[in-house]
Amino acid sequence: MAVKFHRCPSTWLKTSLDPCWRVQKALNERGIDYEVVKHPHRKGKRPEIDAMSGQRLLPVLELEDGRVVREESKEMAAKIRAGELP
C-alpha cells in the first residue's frame, strides 16, 4: 500500500502558492509513491478528514502504518524533501 495523499480536488495553479501542490511536488521530487484522495474545497464537507486528523484542513498524509501527518504545507514539504517523513 502506498502513502495516501489527501488533497483538494484541483491543483490547477501548480505554484508554490497552492498548499496541496507544494506537498505533492515534494512527494514527486523524493520519488515517494502515493495515492491521491481528493476532497471538496469547502472545509464543511470534509468530515472524514476531521475524524482522521482532528481538523478539516488539507493536505494530509496517511502513512502506510496508519499514522496521519498534518502540518502546514511548507513545513510538510520541507520535511519530505529532507527525508524526515516518518
Domain-embedded: residue 59: yes
Cβ proximity of 86 and 67 under 8 Å: yes
Write out the residue range of the structural domain in which residue 42 sits.
3-81
Assess if residue 31 is contained within a domain: yes
| Total domains, the chain | 1
Q: Residue 86: inside a domain, yes or no? A: no
Q: Are strands 60-62 and 68-69 parallel, antiparallel or unpaired?
A: antiparallel
Read off the pLDDT of residues 23-72 as tens digits, 9 standing for 90 and up: 999 999 999 999 999 999 887 889 999 999 999 999 999 999 999 999 99
How confident is the model at residue 1, as a pLDDT? Answer: 56
CA-based nearest residue to 33, from 60, 2, 63: 2
Nearest to 1 by CA among 54, 55, 67: 67
Give the pLDDT score at 17: 81
Handedness of CA 28, 13, 67, 34 (dihedral sign): negative
Please check whether residue 74 lies inside any domain of the structure. Answer: yes
Task: Indicate yes or no: pTM above 0.85.
Answer: yes
* Lowest mean pLDDT segment, chosen from 9-23, 41-55, 70-84: 9-23
Instruction: Let me know if residue 53 belongs to a domain.
Output: yes
Q: What CATH number is attached to the domain comprising 56?
A: 3.40.30.10
